Structure 1
Amino acid sequence: MSQSVIGRPSVNPDTSSPDTPAPTDQRPHGLVWKLGRWFLDGLPTIIVMSVLVAIGYYGHTHHWKIPTFAELTGQAKLVFKDWCEEHGVPESKCVICNPDLMPASPDYGWCTEHGVNNCPLHNPDVAELKKTPVITKATMQQADRALALRERPDNNAACKVYQKRIQFASNEAVQQAGVDVELVDQESVTEWVSGTGEIRYDPTRLANLSSRVPGTAWRVLKNVGDQVQEGEILAVVDAAEVGLLKADLVKAIVAEKLARKNFERLNGLKGAIAGKDILEAESILAKEEAEVLSVEQALANLGLSVDVSSIANLSKQAMIDRLRFLGFPNELAEQFRSQTASANLIPVRSSMNGVITERNVVSSEVVTPERTLFEVADPSWMWLILNVPLEEASLIQVGQQVRFQPNGSRKEVTGNLSWISTAADKQTRMVKVRAEIDNAEGQLRDETFGAGRIILRQEKQAVVIPRSAVHWEGCCQVVFVRNKHYFDSPESPKVFQLRNVRTGFVNGNRVEIIAGLLPDEVVVTQGSDVLRAQLLKNSLGAGCCAE
């Protein structure tokens, strides 16, 4: 029997011996150690999963797919991919990726004279035409006139968009995209400066007539609208001053006759009488002659000319009868004589040929020289007064043609610029100009408002295209020109070339092309958004002026 020792643990003879101490756990049990241990244990799994994900991503981006049974058994037909994703056409026909299929036109660079790249005026071979056109001297002069007249929209010399080409897979694709084209045409172009204005009577052909002396309107013979001739009597005024002058003339003539007889009598007695008496008689005669001249001149100032010598030998009563209707034609004189008219009458005559536009008098009305009785105008020539913006005043010159369309009229009248104001209106900052308009037909009316155009330039054969064909691409104006080999065959590449253009006068939906296009080329007019989208796609990150 074994004997236990109090105070000591019992020892299992099978697992330990009295001489071997009990084992102790020396490993650290911290969090870092546990995470590191976990990572090391899972590292093989992480590596395997990463490789699988990489293979899957590569296959997805390269369009891997599970092979069909026919492919596994070798019975499937091989299909070769032939599509250019970047340009949207078969890769074997892509002229951008394969430039040898359609070599680009020569690059002549920037034209400083006309402000475009690859200028067709200097290098007509760049035109998309089967036959190289001939540029005449008249064509070059036409472009020079357009550029010299005023500032035109500029292009950036560094712009390289003109080097781009847009290709479609087929003509059907072009039609499905809604792309429409139009032939570059030649039309007459008229460039002008516009302004509003009005038609007025020519002030040099307008007369305001009044009585030369105060009096009473005895007869009014003409009315508004009547055609009158120069010197024709419009009205008759009864003026006391006229009667007094006529009486003074009669008295002066009689006094002169007596003074002359007395002088001649005394002069015949020379030597028998004192010379003093002869000189005195001569002085009186000279005084009476001066009096006759004075009264004669006073009547002439009123428009009543009298030939004193023709009435000097008449009797006093005969002179009064002759002077009674002084200034009136015989037929009117006889008519007035039957009406027992006074000797105070003075006619109001027209000073020009024309038409009466205003009448401001009636019979028996008191009139004065300050009051206008009639307005007579000659409307055969009218003045057109236009207001032109100050910014465009430098473009106009005397002699330029002016076209004016009155409000409410379909007819346009023409004239020539005769005057340009040297001042601008303080409030509107407009410059007044004047043109003379022929109104022989009498269709124009005074104070008629309307719109006018001052013609700056007229070209009979300017290059013109629809306004929708021109696009601004950030630093230059461009159009899409159809390639000349577009219809050579059904397999011909369907290509549109970009071209710099310099635009001129814009009239409605038509725009003049000064340089950049030649007649008979074909440009895109509608559906150009599709071409612009493709251009933007091809130029992403490059910018308009990138190489």
Structure 2
Amino acid sequence: MKRFIALGAAMGLAALIIGAAVAAARPDWLPAAIRSHLPLVAKLPETPPEEAGLYCKEHGVPEKFCTLCHEELNKTLKLCDEHGNIPEDICTQCHPDLEKKYNIGMCPKGHGLPKEFCFKCGKANSASATLPDDGWCVTHGKPEALCLECKSDPKSHDASGGGVKVCRQPLPTVKLGSAKLASQVGLQTAEVVEESHAHKLNANAETAYDANRYAEITPRVTGFLKEVRADLGKAVKQGDVLAVVDSADVSGVKAQYLTAQAAQELARATYNRIKMLSQSGAVPAKTELESLTALNQAKASMREAEQKLKNYGFDEPQLDRIIKENDTNSSLAIVAPLDGTVVVRHAVRGEPVQSTTPIFSIADTSRMWLWIDVYESDISVVKPDQKVTFSVSGNDFPASTGTLNWVGTEVNQQTRTTRVRAELSNPEGKLRANQFGQAEIQIGEEHKAVIVPKVAVQRKDGVDVVFLPQEEGGVYRPQRVVAKPTSRGEVLEVTWGLKPGQRVVTKGAFLLKTEIMKGAIGAGCCE
């Protein structure tokens, strides 16, 4: 009996030892109820063994998904195009729950991908090596050829020991189910063209009279309008009579002028006579000095009266005529100070006027000013002498052209715009003051530019992308590009990434973009 008891105890002890060894080495052989009571070091994820299968400890993923150990799986497994062509079944970016489900070893740098499959660390799947490289530096968001960071320190962007350029991450090629599917989903292409182009800036603008070619006419005297000879729209030349004012002030100044002229002649004659007598000693020198003083006073009075008449608009011939004809007429002709057109008339015959009463306005409309409101963010590229084109919506006549001649020095506090001024040619007079429209400022020199339809350029991860149809039907290669807006809203200028003659997908480009955005809402629209 004791022998059986000893044998049973020995067998029980052996079973415990074997169980402990199994629990330590292969806890997955134990039932789930027992595994739940094991220490953490012996635990495996709660995934059933039939789902997880063998585990690749070297790469931290289930063996059946490890394309690093079994490259042939790249042809049979569905790969995640968006995250380095790793198997979709272990893409923790698209499916975060897989980390716990398969006990996946994660990237220590926090990239959210399996450690040995993190393309951001340079450990991309071997299938990525077959993708076409479009020359884009993902790390710095610019073309590799223009990436100064990569040029200054090329080794800093290589994966450790692998020689893989981490910053060069090609986009996956889009393959439709068949070549016929392209026409079924409505894909269309267009040729990339090269044409002359200049960068332009659009802004709201308003026309105005050229202040250097505009005049407001006032009578300069108090009186009554005796005649009105000009009307609205009349073309006048400098010196043409617009109106006649009857003013007592005019006759008074004329009389003052005539009196001063006579007094000056008398003072001059007196001085000349006394000067001769003084030289002969007949009169003292004091008398000569007094006569000279009287002459100078007469000249001053003459100049005062003369200047008053000039202020009224009288010129030298008219002053001579006043003296010659002894003219004290009270009429004053109001004349045009420049060539132009009468654009304002307030004058009415017989009405009283003051010296500051506006009666006419004349403008030379052959040239006009254009006031342009440029947003604060754009003003830095606007400079004098840049070309300007102005168009008024709804008008059939061609746009007017001119040149910027002044850039404002302040920003409007309400609109956050700066006013700039241009001078426009208006030989036919079709432009009118206070017209609103759009100004187009040429802010760059004309140059050869690669142009594509705007609809062809898609935005992915902050980068512009186009799709190039390949010779193999139903295959489209994504190409990252650098694009700029143009003054023509329907096209863009591509400064890097495309050449003239290539074809790009226009209509349907958005559908192709969804094919390289697996895991996003709306992805896979072409499947």
TM-score interval for Structure 1 and Structure 2 normalised by the shorter chain: 0.5 to 0.7
CA shift digits 1:271-299 (9 cap, x unpaired): 44555555444443443333333322332
Query: Contact 2:458–2:510 (CA<8 Å) still a contact in 1?
Result: no
Query: Contact 2:136–2:142 (CA<8 Å) still a contact in 1?
Result: no
Q: Which of 299, 303, 316 pairs up with 1:289?
A: 299
CA shift digits 1:80-102 (9 cap, x unpaired): xxx98959xxxxxxxxxxx99x9
Task: Using structure 2 for the length normalisation, give the TM-score.
Answer: 0.63
Q: How many residues align?
A: 380
Once the 2 structures are TM-superposed, how far is the Cα of residue 357 of structure 1 from its aligned partner?
A: 1.0
Percent identity for Structure 1 against Structure 2: 29
Query: Contact 1:424–1:431 (CA<8 Å) still a contact in 2?
Result: yes
Within 2, Cα distance between the matches of 1:282 and 1:475?
Answer: 92
Instruction: State which drifts further: 180-189 or 208-217.
Output: 180-189
Is the aligned partner of 1:171 residue 2:179?
A: yes
Q: Residues 252 and 457 from structure 1, CA distance in 2 versus in 1: closer, same or farther, beyond 3 angstroms?
A: closer
Q: Give the 3-state SS of the residue equivalent to 1:256 in structure 2.
A: helix
Amino acid in the other structure paired with 1:216? F
Q: Residues 399 and 289 from structure 1, CA distance in 2 versus in 1: closer, same or farther, beyond 3 angstroms?
A: closer
Once the 2 structures are TM-superposed, how far is the Cα of residue 169 of structure 1 from its aligned partner?
A: 5.3
Within 2, Cα distance between the matches of 1:277 and 1:377?
Answer: 58
> Which residue pairs with 2:313 in the alignment?
303
> Which residue pairs with 2:506 in the alignment?
525
Q: Which of 375, 385, 388 pairs up with 1:399?
A: 385
CA shift digits 1:25-48 (9 cap, x unpaired): xxxxxxxxxxxxxxxxxxxxxxxx
Within 2, Cα distance between the matches of 1:499 and 1:207?
Answer: 61
> Which residue pairs with 1:323 in the alignment?
327
User: What are the residue-to-residue correspondences of 1:93-492 with 2, within 5 Å?
Assistant: 105=132, 110=137, 115-116=142-143, 158=167, 160=169, 162-168=170-176, 170-269=178-277, 270-273=280-283, 276-306=286-316, 319=323, 321-324=325-328, 343-410=329-396, 411-457=398-444, 459-483=446-470, 485-486=471-472
Within 2, Cα distance between the matches of 1:517 and 1:228?
Answer: 59
Q: Residues 291 and 181 from structure 1, CA distance in 2 versus in 1: closer, same or farther, beyond 3 angstroms?
A: closer
Query: Contact 1:217–1:364 (CA<8 Å) still a contact in 2?
Result: yes
Higher relative contact order (CA closer than 8 Å, sequence separation 6+): 1
Query: Contact 2:366–2:426 (CA<8 Å) still a contact in 1?
Result: yes
Query: Contact 1:179–1:527 (CA<8 Å) still a contact in 2?
Result: yes
Q: Give the 3-state SS of the residue equivalent to 2:506 in structure 1.
A: strand
Task: Using structure 1 for the length normalisation, give the TM-score.
Answer: 0.61
Once the 2 structures are TM-superposed, how far is the Cα of residue 462 of structure 1 from its aligned partner?
A: 1.9
Once the 2 structures are TM-superposed, how far is the Cα of residue 469 of structure 1 from its aligned partner?
A: 2.2
Compute the RMSD of aligned alpha carbons: 3.6
Amino acid in the other structure paired with 1:289? K
Within 1, Cα distance between the matches of 2:202 and 2:284?
Answer: 88
CA shift digits 1:43-102 (9 cap, x unpaired): xxxxxxxxxxxxxxx9xxxxxxxxxxxxxxxxxxxxxxxx98959xxxxxxxxxxx99x9
Amino acid in the other structure paired with 2:259? K
Within 2, Cα distance between the matches of 1:482 and 1:353?
Answer: 65
Amino acid in the other structure paired with 1:194? N
Once the 2 structures are TM-superposed, how far is the Cα of residue 266 of structure 1 from its aligned partner?
A: 4.5
User: What are the residue-to-residue correspondences of 1:72-111 with 2, within 5 Å?
Assistant: 105=132, 110=137
Q: Residues 271 and 443 from structure 1, CA distance in 2 versus in 1: closer, same or farther, beyond 3 angstroms?
A: same
Max Rg structure: 1
Q: Residues 289 and 308 from structure 1, CA distance in 2 versus in 1: closer, same or farther, beyond 3 angstroms?
A: farther
Structure 2: stretches of 5+ with no match in the other structure: 1-49, 51-74, 80-125, 148-165
Q: Give the 3-state SS of the residue equivalent to 1:501 in structure 2.
A: strand
Once the 2 structures are TM-superposed, how far is the Cα of residue 434 of structure 1 from its aligned partner?
A: 0.7
Within 1, Cα distance between the matches of 2:410 and 2:432?
Answer: 27
CA shift digits 1:353-409 (9 cap, x unpaired): 111111111222211112111111111211100111111111212221111112432
Q: Give the 3-state SS of the residue equivalent to 1:290 in structure 2.
A: helix
Once the 2 structures are TM-superposed, how far is the Cα of residue 424 of structure 1 from its aligned partner?
A: 0.7
Within 1, Cα distance between the matches of 2:318 and 2:387?
Answer: 55
Query: Contact 2:454–2:492 (CA<8 Å) still a contact in 1?
Result: yes
Q: Residues 219 and 184 from structure 1, CA distance in 2 versus in 1: closer, same or farther, beyond 3 angstroms?
A: same
Structure 1: stretches of 5+ with no match in the other structure: 1-57, 59-82, 88-98, 123-156, 312-317, 325-342, 487-492
